[in-house]
Structure formats: structure tokens, C-alpha cells
Chain A
Amino acid sequence: MKPEIDKILETTAMQMMTQIAPQLPPGYTQNSTGLLTMLLNFCAQEYENGAEMRAAENRELRNLLAELEGSVEDVRLRVKLGAVMGERDASLKISDLNYSNAELKKLLIDVQTYLETHNDDQAKLARREIWAVLKASAKQRLLKLPGM
């Protein structure tokens, strides 16, 4: 499809902002319309980046969790961590990527909680590795405000 969907969303947002919003009475309706244009811009960003961002994040999480297996003594947790590298995203649909992402994050919460109860050097290093991945993920998921 040309133009691309993100371009259509951005253009629609711009039309709402410059042509429709000024015709509305000041107040809630006009402000809400401004917010809606921003949300369309966010949708445009997600259209272009959403699948790649999630696939990359899932890859990073799998690599991290597989590495963390060596830092964990709890047998049940080790088994879960050991199984992660054999898993794949079912498809590149956002819903499938989100499903995998949620499963991986549940396991990450478990292993991070476990490591916080240990204070040896290996656990400290593992916690730093987790935060490095969480920081990178949080940065990737930031949204750009139009015009900023």
C-alpha cells in the first residue's frame, strides 16, 4: 500500500490539528481533538516500528534469560530458563509477539525477584544485566511527541 499507513495516519492527524480542531469551540472538545491527533501519531510510530521493536525485545529477553540460568540454583526456575531458548514467536503478528513478550516478562519478574534475595557477585552481575535490558527496552518504547 502506497502511501504507507504511517504516512496516512500522520497526514490525517495533521488535518485534524490544522483544519478541524480550530473550528471547534475551545475547551474539552478542542483539547480532546488535539489529544486524538497525538494518538494517531503514536499509532503511526507503532505501525512502522511495532513489530521490529517487539521481535527484537523478545530476542533480547530470551538471550538474557538463557544467560541467567547459570546464576540460579532454584531447580524449577532453572528448568523454565533452560527452555526459553527453544521457544520462538508464533508469528510476526503484534498479538503473537505480545503474547511471547508477556510470557518472557513474567519469567523475568520471577528471576529478578529471586536474584534480589541473593547478594553474591554473580547475582549482582545478573541483576545489572537485567537492568541493562530493562533500560534499553524502556528507551525503545518511549513515544515521540509530534514536533519534538
Chain B
Amino acid sequence: MSDDITPRLAAYMAKMLDIPAVDVDGLSRISGGASRETYRFAARYYRDGRAHDRRLILRRDPPASLIDTDRSAEFRAYKAFHKLGVPVPEPIVLELDNGPLDRPFFIMEEIQNCTVASVIQPDPYGALAPKIGHQFFSTLGKIAKADPDKIGLGDFEGARTDSWKHEVERWEREIDEDEREPQPIARAAIRWLKRNPPQPAQKVSVVHGDYRSGNFLYDAEGSIRAILDWEMAHIGDPLEDLGWALDPLWSHHNPERPAGLVSREHAIAFWEQASGLKADPRALFWWEIFASLKGAAIWISAAREYGDGRNTDPVNLFSGWYCLAFHNKVLADRLAGVGA
């Protein structure tokens, strides 16, 4: 498949750069979630009298996507936060036409010599955990602090008031459409979330939508070099991202260290310091229940994609099986604990 698109990618890049030819080499698929196909490649060309050798990433829509996500929003989020100094890859070009590579795609720089943690790996960060943890939760605070209107993302999907309601209804619809068997725990969670709304958001923020361990690149010195996978970015309550980042699924089997990085107290303190906001415990608890419900909805959709044969990437089956069982357990324990 990758060989098939190499010449077309080279032709596209030459046209984009307005030069006679670009040499595309080493196009190979890498892991990057089930919502986009992700490839790395090298592009070599002559322009302005000198040779260029760039390492790039191609993110292309798959034939069927786990969750319908907006690649324009993802690309624009990269652009906006790149300008703001949040570590993200430099976005290069967005192509929405199906012609060049059969499906929409975008190209961005490849961040090299970095690692991305596997979410099932125990203690992936080792001695680097405190340093990475501070950056991870502070960077999330910085994203929360940004004014969506001032950075050009004010028109993103989402709700400026009652974003909690908008989000619950969004993921309830996802479950309505995709569940293949009754989900008593997820349904009870939805009812609890609706009966117990959180206090209004302190501010409207850009919500990354999938800010977690496993979605950032870090180097050998423990510096976060890139926050990835902005495909579910939207407008909403900044506590949504914090709740998701703290979810036990991303703790690398260590409930004492959210994201496998630092203590919960430190994580929240780093976020509050960088954002200038407060993480009210009751509101945060609501968003943590929501996070596990949203996870369950995504995994239910993943199982549906796989079961219907639309996208049989093994990550969909893994998500629909292991991750759904995990989040059902988290939700059952937490909701039983509050007498739901």
C-alpha cells in the first residue's frame, strides 16, 4: 500500500512546492491510532539553489474511521499551538481533495530521536517520570489557558455554555449508533452524568480531546518534544482534558501515578499553576466519570468498526475488548462508590 502512493505523494509535493521534482524515499507506515493512517518518509529536493532533506509525517484518513474526526480541525490545532510554543510538529500542508492520495491527508514534520510510550507498558518513563510529568501537566495547563478566539480556533466544534451536556449527548449518540449489545454500566454512567451536572466551566478552552500518556513524544533527556493526535480537538471545559489525562487506563498499571508520571496531587498542582484555573474536586470527579464514559463510547465504536469489517485494524479489536472491559470496571467501581 505504501509503495503504491509513493509516486503520487512525490508528484503532489513537487506541485505544492512548485518545483520540477521531489524524491520521496522510505515511505513506511507507523502506529498512530485507528482514526488516521500514519506514514513517515523522507523528501529530498532542490529549491532556492540548495538541497533540502526533510523527514516528514503523512496523516491520511483511513477507509473507515473509528470516530468521525475533522482533519481540518486537527491541522489547524497544530498550526495554532505551534505558534503558541506548545510542543507540536510543524504542520506543512492540508489536502482535503480525494484526488492526490485517494483520501484527505495532511503532512507535518517528523520529530526524530524520540519515544512514544505504549499504554500497556508498565513504568515506561522510569527515572524521567517526574521531569516529564511536570511538563505533561503544565503543557496541558498552557493549552487550557489559551483563548480559542485569540489563537484562531474560536469556531471549533463544541459548546461555549453547558459543554458538559453537549459532550455527554455527543458520546451517548455514539453509543446509540454503535453498541452491539446492551451496556448497563455505560447507560448508568450517562444517566448519572445527566442527573449530576458539574458547575459551569471557569472558561472556554480548546480541549485537545485525547491528551494522555501515549500521545506525546519525549527524548532521552526527558523533554516532551511533541503533543500529538489533536483529531478530537474541540471547544469546551478545560477540565475535560484533565479528567481524561488522569484516567486510570493511561496510568501504566500504577493507580498512584496518573499517566504513569507523578502523583495526582502534583499533576493537578502543575495544571493549576500553568492554567491559572482551579480544579474543583467535585467538578473534576464529574469529568473523570465522563472521561471513562467517553472512553467506553470510543471502544464500543471500535468494536463496531471491527465487527462490521469496516476497519479490522487489530487496535480496534484490542480497544473494543480490553479497553472497554477496563473502563466498565472503572465506571462500576466509581459509580457504586457514590451510590449512583
A residues at B contact (CB < 8 Å) = 25, 27-29, 31-32, 35-36, 38-39, 42, 98, 101-102, 105-106, 108-109, 112-113, 116, 124, 127-128, 131-132, 134-135, 137-139, 141-143, 145, 148
Given the complex, which residues of A lie within 8 Å of B332, measured CB to CB?
Answer: 131, 134-135, 137-138
A131 and B329 contact, CB distance less than 8 A: no
A and B contact pairs by CB, cutoff 8 A, 23 listed: A27-B30, A27-B31, A28-B29, A28-B38, A35-B314, A39-B317, A105-B181, A105-B183, A105-B184, A106-B182, A109-B182, A109-B184, A109-B187, A109-B188, A112-B188, A127-B340, A134-B332, A134-B336, A135-B329, A138-B185, A139-B329, A143-B325, A148-B122
Q: Chain B 32-73, CB within 8 Å of chain A: the 1/0 string?
A: 000000101000000000000000000000000000000000
CA distance A112 to B191 in the complex (A): 10
Contacts of A141 in B (CB 8 A): 325, 328-329
**Contact across chains for B184 and A31 when beta carbons are under 8 A apart:** no
Pair B328/A38 contact, Cβ less than 8 Å: no
> A116 contacts which of B184, B195, B328 (Cβ < 8 Å)?
B195
CB distance from A12 to the nearest CB of B (A): 15
**Interface flag for B315 (CB, 8 Å):** yes
Interface of B is mostly: helix
- In the complex the two chains form, is A134's CB within 8 Å of B31's CB? no
Further 5 A-B residue pairs, CB within 8 A, beyond A138-B185, A138-B331: A27-B28, A27-B30, A32-B314, A105-B182, A112-B188
Task: Tell me whether B177 is interfacial, beta carbon within 8 Å.
Answer: no
Give the residues in chain A near B188, CB-CB below 8 Å.
Answer: 109, 112, 134
- B335 interface residue per 8 A CB criterion: yes
A128 to B321, CA, bound (A): 27
- Whether the pair A138, B30 counts as a contact (CB closer than 8 A) is no
Question: Taking the complex as formed, is B120 at the interface, i.e. its CB lies under 8 A from any CB of chain A?
Answer: yes
Cβ–Cβ contact B191 & A113, under 8 A: yes
- A128 proximity list for chain B (CB < 8 A): 336, 339
Question: Number of contacts between A and B (CB, 8 Å)?
Answer: 93
| Distance between B61 CB and nearest chain A CB, rounded to angstroms | 16
CB <8 Å contact, A25 and B28: yes
Residues 315-336 of chain B: 1 if any A CB is under 8 Å from the residue's CB, otherwise 0?
A: 1011001100110110111011
Cβ of A137: which chain B residues have Cβ within 8 Å of it?
Answer: 332
B79: interface (CB < 8 Å):
no
Q: Which residues of A contact B315 (CB under 8 A)?
A: 32, 35
Cβ of B160 under 8 Å from chain A: no
Q: How large is the interface on B (under 10, 10 to 19, 20 to 34, 35 or more residues)?
A: 35 or more
Residue of B nearest to A134 (CB): B332
- Answer whether A39 and B318 are a contact pair too, CB < 8 Å, given A134-B184, A138-B332: yes
Q: Mark B293-333, 1 if CB is under 8 A from A, else 0.
A: 00000000000000000000111011001100110110111
Q: Among the interface residues B122, B317, B322, B339, which one has the most CB atoms of the partner chain A within 10 A?
A: B322
Question: In the assembled complex, how far is the CB of residue A94 from the closest CB belonging to chain B, in whole angstroms?
Answer: 12
B253 within 8 A of A: yes
Q: Contact check, B314 vs A28: say whether CB atoms are below 8 A apart.
A: no
Whether A39 lies near B321 (C-beta < 8 A) is yes
Residues of A within 8 A of B339 (CB): 124, 127-128
Q: Is the CB of A135 within 8 A of B336?
A: yes
The answer to whether A131 touches B321, judged by C-beta atoms less than 8 angstroms apart, is: no
Q: Establish whether residues A102 and B182, one from each chain, have CB atoms under 8 Å apart when the complex forms.
A: yes
Collect the chain B residues with CB atoms within 8 Å of residue A142's CB. Answer: 325-326, 329
Residues of B within 8 A of A134 (CB): 184-185, 188, 332, 336
Chain A residues positioned under 8 Å from B253 (CB to CB): 148
Q: How far is the CA of A127 from the CA of B192 in the complex (A)?
A: 13
Q: Specify which of B31, B122, B185 is in contact with A28 (CB 8 Å cutoff).
A: B31
Cα A132 to Cα B325 with chains together (Å): 16
The 10 A-B pairs with the shortest beta carbon distances in the complex, nearest first, are A131-B336, A28-B29, A105-B182, A35-B314, A138-B329, A138-B332, A31-B31, A138-B328, A135-B332, A27-B30
B322 neighbours in A (Cβ, 8 Å): 38, 42, 143, 145
Chain B CB within 10 Å — which of A29, A31, A36, A113 has the most? A31
- When distances are taken between beta carbons in the complex, the residues of chain B under 8 Å from A109 are 182, 184, 187-188
Chain B nearest Cβ from A35, distance in angstroms: 4
